[in-house]
Amino acid sequence: MNVPSYLTGNYAPVLDEVTALELPVTGQIPPELSGWYLRNGPNPHAAASTHWFLGDGMVHGVRIENGKAVSYRNRWVRTSTFLDGTPGRDAEGHRDLTAGLANTHVIRHAGRILALVESSFPYELTCDLDTLGPHDFDGKLRTAMTAHPKTCPVTGELHFFGYDVVEPYLTYHRANAAGDLEVSRDIDVPAASMLHDFNLTAEHVVFMDLPVLFDLETAQAGTGMPYRWSDSYQARLGVLRRDDPFGEVRWFDIDPCYVFHPLNAHDEPGRIVLYVMRYASLWRKDSQEQEQASLWRWTIDLAAGTVSEEQIDDRAAEFPRVDERLVGQNANFGHVTVAGKDAGALIRYDLTTGSSLTHDFGPGRIPSEACFAPADGNPGGPGYLMTYVYDAATDRSDLAIVDATDLTAEPVATIHLPQRVPFGFHGSWLADN
């Protein structure tokens, strides 16, 4: 029997939920770091799934305080799908928004820790990663929630959207800093495109309506992600003013492509500048295809109604992140992850000069997404990149802490974990203050 590649090596699920205290450390954990590093990813509890994206969510967390690695724990998110196999839709096609995998991201907003997947409600977790249950904003949320909400660092508002394979295909939402859902409005798109992420600036929300569409035949076959590339569907960016959330969405055409993850976006006089990890195409024949993305800059000219597109780097990378305190602002630096078959690295881009620095983890050591943990209260100032690193030679994983301002140096600390952390998706540094 052939085992799919997404169930072998470090893609294979771990089968045990572990709690370990007083973790060994090589180097010195910066004393200013105090909080939780959490990362989510697919970990099918039945040790089988039809696509890497479709495993049950498992969150891996390391607690750091007073220069010590206090604990590690990993827990499945106990969604209704995990507990009893509840399907996402009933026989008549009605959607059960509590049925989801909660396997893509984990964030904190208004005091709640939320495990996210784009096909359902978020699930709330405790700091110990126990599952409290689905969160629907006191019954006000009537759509799924993207796995990539954006918190405005100025207002504390949480901006997000939900998309579906039936109309309305796209709905925009905004919750205030206290976690109350204040805005929900439909966005007119002509078909069920796969909108994984979006962009936020100080003044605008920018949606990406791109040519990867829901495919009913693939969905009925149950053989993977039910989306395929379309040569006939447009690629465009939809711009909505934040001060007029129910107002007009202006659409701007771009060259056909796909973007899972933007790095950041900001406003300039008469323009919006976006940095994205751009794929030339995605899933033309099969959702198991392994395309590659690279960093591009899009500049929207609001007066001319045009978008200029420029490739910044030709190196294949993904999982872009900035200092979260600069989301929607003009951040000088951005970070991406290179995860090759036999080695991996982190890249730090200077978005002002176009230069970059690389941290290479060495043969057989492959990082996951790296989150930025600030070293002080100055947005854009010094900080650390935190990432789980898999070591093929030992079949174990570490949490590496790298000085973001001295990227070529050895990690300042390497926290040795009691078990392997499978490759996964996104996470957050949840500081205590």
Helix (H) or strand (E) segment spanning residue 67: none
Round to whole Å and give the CA distance between 391 and 413: 16
% of the chain beyond a pLDDT of 90: 88
| Structural domains of the chain in order of their starting residue, each with its CATH number | 136-312 (2.40.128)
**Residues 128, 78, 390, 402, CA torsion sign:** negative
Round to whole Å and give the CA distance between 28 and 45: 35
Sheet hosting strand 57-65, strand order edge to edge: 19-21, 68-76, 57-65, 35-42, 427-431
Residue 88 confidence (pLDDT) above 80 = no
Rounded average pLDDT over 223-236:
94
5 pLDDT band, cuts 50/70/90, is confident
The predicted pLDDT at position 91 comes to 53
Q: How far is CA 48 from CA 149, 356, 368, 421, in A?
A: 29, 39, 22, 17
- Give the HSE-up count for residue 130: Cα atoms under 13 Å, Cβ half-sphere: 3
Rounded average pLDDT over 97-115:
96
95 pLDDT band, cuts 50/70/90, is confident
Average pLDDT value for the chain:
95
From 21-25, 85-89, 299-303, 314-318, the region with the lowest mean pLDDT: 85-89
Kindly report the pTM of this predicted structure.
0.96
Residue 94 confidence (pLDDT) above 70 = no
DSSP-derived 3-state class of residue 366:
strand
The predicted pLDDT at position 101 comes to 94
**Residue scoring higher pLDDT (54 or 350):** 350
pLDDT tens for each residue of 255-312: 999 999 999 999 999 999 999 999 999 999 888 887 899 999 999 999 999 999 999 9
In degrees and rounded to multiples of 5, residue 366 shows phi and psi of -120, 120
pLDDT tens for each residue of 43-57: 998 877 888 898 999
DSSP-derived 3-state class of residue 256:
coil
Residue 4 confidence (pLDDT) above 90 = no
The predicted pLDDT at position 260 comes to 98
pLDDT tens for each residue of 357-386: 999 999 999 999 999 999 999 999 999 999
pLDDT tens for each residue of 382-407: 999 999 999 999 999 999 999 999 99
The predicted pLDDT at position 421 comes to 98
What's at 272, amino acid-wise?
I
